[in-house]
Amino acid sequence: MSDSFGCVVLAAGKGTRLKLKDPKPLVPLMGRRLVDYSIESLKKFMDANSSKGAVSLVIGHEKEKVQAHAEESAKKFDVQISFSVQEKQLGTAHALKCYFEQNSDAAGYEYTVIMCADTPLISSDVLIELFSALKKDSLDGVAATFETVDPTGLGRIIRSDKEGFKITEHKDANSEELLIKEVNSGMYIVKTSYILEHLSNIKSENAAGEFYLTDLFQEGSKVKPCLFEDENTFLGVNDLEQLERIEVLLRRRKKIELRNSGVRFIDSRHVYVDEDVQIGEGSTLYPNATLYGNSIIGKDCVLETGVIIKNSEVQDGTTIKAYSSLEESFVGKEAAIGPYARLRPKANIGSYSKIGNFVEIKKSDLKEGVKVSHLSYVGDAEIGEDSNIGCGFITCNYDGAKKHKTIIGKGCFIGSDSQMIAPVTLGDECYVASGSTINQDIPSGGFGIARGRQSTKEGMAKRFIKKK
């Protein structure tokens, strides 16, 4: 039978030092929220053990907001989630007590995995390694530890010649203990039966007057520290400097993953890619390409310098040229967008299309092979296959109160400097003369012209040309 895990994330604290408006578990990071990283790692850890289990958050500060987000996150990562409330933050052991008191399933899991919500670099691999250390020596509990040059504020690992070890908090450490560089990460895997036996004996007689979870680990018990080499793994988000450092490391990790899967960076130091962005093999990213949220980029795409893509999809073989911005948009395959194009939400650009410089498109469907090559605004429109829109085209979609639609059929040719006063519909293969302001429908095959007739007066120019 596979092992079962109750996974607890301690997330009741306030995170005051961050000075951000969001509660700490909801700090935005890489297009996600901080707590999502712990939820994802725990889910992957359980999957790796093909085990039954659930994630449970201990919440307190701004609990409604944290719970609402974590419920969404659990759906995304397909994991069962529950919550317990710690009204007053009386310490980490008290937080765990709240978990056991408020979750009827908690005592039934063979092991309890405990981590904090603010250590996003802890991957499932670290959890797997920690668990195998416990299994190897048939222990009751393990704590992940690391060595650091500056252990200020962290719990010191007091190893013993006999079985067991203990952790002394910085505030309680004597001068000798303060010199110890091996510290507690705050991540533990412990047999649930062991916790239930010892948790209620933990007292708050210490410098902080808090119930320390670290007091679970005692000399004479079957518990061990498990030393990890890379201290960065356990970096926690406590202030803005740490948050920035962690973000740099997470971004680097994401780019390594992408490079390993065949994405080329011209200079990856200046490319920003959020955690959940997908990019296909053979695509190339130039400096300052920035990809946010749930964007999906196909294979063999080129994203040139300064491109910004938010929650959009770009299909195989498409080039997004320099300084173009896409938001909640879709671009089909082998299209060319930009330079300096702006696709606003619900711009839907068909395959083989061409959108050129200084073109803005909003809430419009452009079918395959449409060309809007220069200086245009397309809003609330539908444009049929292979239509060509000349330079300086404008859909006049807004009458001051409502938005109206412009519909242009297949294979049309719209001359430069034309405006469509919506609502207006053009059939297939229409031709609109340059400089026309169209406010009436044109049937398929029709020609539309709406501009003042030209008159030419020979020799009259000198009346108007001014000389200094």
* Least CB distance to ligand UD1 at residue 154 (A): 4
Site for ligand UD1 in 13-32 (CB under 6 A): 13
Comparing CA positions, the residue from 10, 8, 66, 16 lying closest to residue 238 is 16
* Least CB distance to ligand UD1 at residue 313 (A): 36
167 part of the interface to ligand UD1, by CB under 6 A: yes
* Least CB distance to ligand UD1 at residue 30 (A): 19
Site for ligand UD1 in 37-66 (CB under 6 A): 58
Task: List 359's β-bridge partners, or say none.
Answer: 376
Which of 38, 103, 112, 214 is in the footprint of ligand UD1 by CB under 6 A? Answer: 214
* Least CB distance to ligand UD1 at residue 186 (A): 4
10 part of the interface to ligand UD1, by CB under 6 A: yes
Select 186 or 415, whichever has its Cβ closest to ligand UD1.
186
* Least CB distance to ligand UD1 at residue 37 (A): 13
* Least CB distance to ligand UD1 at residue 125 (A): 20
CA distance 100 to 193: 12
Binding mask 218-237 for ligand UD1 (x = CB under 6 A): ------------------x-
What number of chain residues touch ligand UD1 (CB under 6 A)?
27
Select 6 or 186, whichever has its Cβ closest to ligand UD1.
186
Select 99 or 292, whichever has its Cβ closest to ligand UD1.
99
Select 213 or 308, whichever has its Cβ closest to ligand UD1.
213
Place of tokens 């052991």: 93
- Positions marked active-site: 374
Q: Which two tokens stand for residue 317?
A: 């073989």
Binding mask 139-158 for ligand UD1 (x = CB under 6 A): ---------------xx---
Binding mask 77-116 for ligand UD1 (x = CB under 6 A): ---------x--xxxx-xx--------------------x
121 part of the interface to ligand UD1, by CB under 6 A: no
- Which residues make up the interface to ligand UD1 (CB under 6 A)? 10-13, 58, 86, 89-92, 94-95, 116-118, 154-155, 167, 169, 183-186, 212-214, 236
